[in-house]
Structure 1
Amino acid sequence: MMIGLVALALQAAAPSGGSIDAAGKWGVDYSPEQCIINRQFGSGPVKSFLAVDADPMTGTGYIVLLIPGVATKGTFGTATMTVAPGGATLRPIWFARRSKDARAAIEIGVGQDGWAAITAGDTLTIQGPFASPVSVPVKGIDKAIAAAKTCGRTLLTSWGADPDAMIDTSGSKSPGDWITNLDYPPEALRNGESGTVRILLTIDPKGRPRDSHRLEGAIMTAGAPAGAIIALALALQAAAPAAHVDRSTAKWGVEYAPNQCIINRAFGDGPKPAILAIDVDPQSDRGDIVLLMPEKAWRGTSGTAAVTLAPGGTKAPARWVGGATGHDMYAIKLSLADDQWKAVPTAETLLVDAGADRPIAVPIKGIGKAFVAAKTCGRDLLQSWGADPDAMIDLEPGVAARLFTADDYPVDALRGNQQGLVKTLVTVDAQGKPTACRVVVSSNIASLDDTSCRVLMTRSTFPPSDKSVRYHYHRTRWVIPAY
């Protein structure tokens, strides 16, 4: 059934043992003091890992790489990095860092000019730190940087700073000129201590620092891992979760999948993680909720569940379908009402009672930040489909409920027991009439795709506007009706 296919795709995105496909997804982790861009790559049982400690203003920063099966040539030096396509060449400084497993770990400093070249490429080839060149896939990192900027604004606000009042320090008197090796504290030198200190300066109208606030001070002995970012990389890289691991503080991620923006998070305390994933609409803070679980927590294959968003939420019904994935996991898809979706970003727990002995309790605290990042992904998605994100429009009130009927189900699809999801983009003129319909994500069933556009073109109506061209994104889920 359809839900099984969705669940398998989501499970494949989670860390697992065995060979891993090279096309890992970009993620942005919202840690208490950092926004970390990360991605797994490679095809062996032990994966390579790229992470960027993103500056809250620029979304870029230094790169940390964990590479299995290689050793570094020394402890530091100058790397040669080539971006393809285009052939741009960078020569940054690199430092070796100690990893807690068999992988080599290096830290690479990259400036803004270097990042401009990297974001324009698909592959970054690094020579110098290792015996042979290492190629790193960077295609799509520009979208992750955009999401990291959203994370950065949240971080700055949490520190008491106005994100729109930040000052760019690039120029002749950059921070690199403020602190030199001569300023290194003698006692830290004697003890072999190094680390990273993050400071927020308050600047007066004359450009003079008025106050300083230390945000983070990480002191490390010589040879220790380079801060929390490598620790995070190692945690994310675990091939299989340890037994009885508490995942209540697992990080939210937003995956920029092809034609999808997927919020996801692992939860549960058993040896095999459960996964919450939301295929977020690019036009709204809603979508399909899929729970992938190691044990079945519902009765039957479909029905109505009682869903509660805590704290303060009232119990409300939600349609669901569920089934086995074929990989010793079970998946359930929930369809929430619009008023329920409004409460999701601020809720801490999602309780789902689908008729089993006990309800499913899903920790969702902090999901609001993931929705903010997903909006950036959604705007990119709409632009990739040729739509203006600022010219999106909803159907007139009440139209959506009566748009499709059971009689619209294509006869050939009924006979073939075919179901599916069709995502379409409708172009709308100033009078509110649809002028074109394009399938942006196909169900792979021609009659379902064609009927989706036919119904939208003939029945949908929109409010008039002074804009000559607007767009409407629509999801049509075809499910064979029960008679």
Structure 2
Amino acid sequence: MRQRPMLGGAASAVAAVLLVLSSASALAAPKVREPTAKWTVETQANECLLVRSYGSPRNPLFLALSEAPMGAGANATILYNREWALFGSGDATVRFDGGEPSEVWYSSRLLWNLSKEIKTLTMRSVVMGMDSDSHKLLTNAASVAFDVPGEVKIAFALPEHPAALKALDDCATNLGVKWGYPVEEQRRIAKPPRREKGFRGLFTAADYPVEAMKAGRMGRAHVRLRISDTGAITECSILRSSGNAELDNATCRILTERATFEPARDVEGKATRGVVVTAIRWIMMG
């Protein structure tokens, strides 16, 4: 059967959190999971990760919060054991300390487990984009709950959370310095660059590179976009390759040609340069 190319985009990453989901219509809240390990902070090319285990080697469960420098992207991610399932996306809800639910956008996919310590072959990754309001509520929350339809409904206790978030913020600031943005400049940014509709509609099936499609190449290209004070992309850098040069090149070419942004704003409301971090997923489905 001939394969049909499809594309999926991931939203930008910013100071973030991995959360528990609790349905707005549920009669009973899910049991709050207690952590089974300490928070750990990891620096990656495109973001910083704050990760904690809430499970065991035979029944793994992780909450991960990601943050990119200067508000360039924030996500909450839940990793749990699940058998194979198709990609998923849609609306989910999150609650902090049992408060009012807030809507978030999620995407999910299957991951192959490469850790010898975790006794399972595959894991499910559910990534949720976090806005600045959610991040503020998260800062002092004692628990967080998520309800992701068709995926997971779960709540996490957040002991030692404020100190862990501070470590995540410091990590993101240091990463920003490595990207060429002094600490003082980072702190002056009040609003990061943004697109009203995100990256939806920028890519079409016709954009799939022909040779990559013939070879059945798929992958996710993580990129950093430098945005000028006029909202134009001045540089697109591959932070984590999709595994295929054609897909990487097409990602930057299409974004640079088609994407424009509302520029970042400093504390005085003036347009200034900024950065956006995102991931574009190239997939083919028959």
Q: How many Å separate the matches in 1 of 2:109 and 2:123?
A: 8
Q: How many Å separate the matches in 1 of 2:271 and 2:149?
A: 47
Q: Please say if residues 413 and 419 of structure 1, whose CA atoms lie closer than 8 Å, have aligned partners that are also in contact.
A: no
Q: How many Å separate the matches in 2 of 1:333 and 1:341?
A: 20
Tell me the residue number matched to 1:332: 124
Q: How many Å separate the matches in 1 of 2:274 and 2:220?
A: 23
Residue 397 of structure 1 and its aligned partner are, at CA, apart by: 3.1
Residue 275 of structure 1 and its aligned partner are, at CA, apart by: 2.6
Tell me the residue number matched to 1:421: 221
Matched, 1:277 2:64: yes
Tell me the secondary structure at the aligned position of residue 462 of structure 1.
coil
Q: How many Å separate the matches in 1 of 2:206 and 2:108?
A: 22
Q: How many Å separate the matches in 2 of 1:381 and 1:399?
A: 23
Of 217, 231, 255, which residue of structure 2 is paired with 1:432? 231
Q: Where is the helix percentage greater, Structure 1 or Structure 2? A: 1
Counting matched residue pairs gives 233
Tell me the residue number matched to 2:52: 265
Residues 44-443 of structure 1 mapped to structure 2, 5 A cutoff:
248=35, 250-257=37-44, 259-268=46-55, 274-284=61-71, 286-287=74-75, 289-291=77-79, 293=80, 295-296=81-82, 300-304=85-89, 306-310=92-96, 311-314=98-101, 316=103, 318-325=106-113, 328-329=119-120, 330-339=122-131, 341-342=134-135, 343-347=137-141, 348-353=143-148, 355=150, 359-364=153-158, 366-388=160-182, 390=185, 393-398=192-197, 400-415=199-214, 416-428=216-228, 430-443=229-242
Q: How has the CA–CA distance of structure 1 residues 288 and 449 changed in structure 2, closer, same or farther, with 3 Å as cutoff?
A: farther
Matched, 1:461 2:253: no
Q: How many Å separate the matches in 1 of 2:194 and 2:176?
A: 17
Letter in 2 for 1:328: K
Q: Please say if residues 286 and 341 of structure 1, whose CA atoms lie closer than 8 Å, have aligned partners that are also in contact.
A: no
Q: Please say if residues 282 and 381 of structure 1, whose CA atoms lie closer than 8 Å, have aligned partners that are also in contact.
A: yes
Percent of aligned pairs with the same amino acid? 25
Tell me the residue number matched to 2:244: 445
Residue 403 of structure 1 and its aligned partner are, at CA, apart by: 3.5
Letter in 1 for 2:88: G
Q: How has the CA–CA distance of structure 1 residues 288 and 268 changed in structure 2, closer, same or farther, with 3 Å as cutoff?
A: closer
Residue 481 of structure 1 and its aligned partner are, at CA, apart by: 5.7
Question: What TM-score, normalized to structure 2?
Answer: 0.63
Tell me the secondary structure at the aligned position of residue 480 of structure 1.
strand
Question: What TM-score, normalized to structure 1?
Answer: 0.40
Q: How many Å separate the matches in 2 of 1:397 and 1:441?
A: 25
Tell me the residue number matched to 1:78: none
Residue 263 of structure 1 and its aligned partner are, at CA, apart by: 0.4
Deviations 1:21-70 (A, max 9, x none): xxxxxxxxxxxxxxxxxxxxxxxxxxxxxxxxxxxxxxxxxxxxxxxxxx
How large is the RMSD of aligned CA atoms in angstroms? 3.8
Q: How many Å separate the matches in 2 of 1:346 and 1:405?
A: 41
Residue 422 of structure 1 and its aligned partner are, at CA, apart by: 1.8
Tell me the secondary structure at the aligned position of residue 375 of structure 1.
helix
Query: Where do 5+ consecutive residues of structure 2 fail to align?
Result: 1-32
Deviations 1:206-233 (A, max 9, x none): xxxxxxxxxxxxxxxxxxxxxxxxxxxx
For CA contacts below 8 A with separation 6 or more, give which structure has more relative contact order: 2
Q: Where is the strand percentage greater, Structure 1 or Structure 2? A: 2
Residue 377 of structure 1 and its aligned partner are, at CA, apart by: 1.0
Tell me the residue number matched to 2:280: 477
Residue 344 of structure 1 and its aligned partner are, at CA, apart by: 4.2
Q: How many Å separate the matches in 2 of 1:431 and 1:452?
A: 22
Deviations 1:375-413 (A, max 9, x none): 221121122122346266413433544444444333333
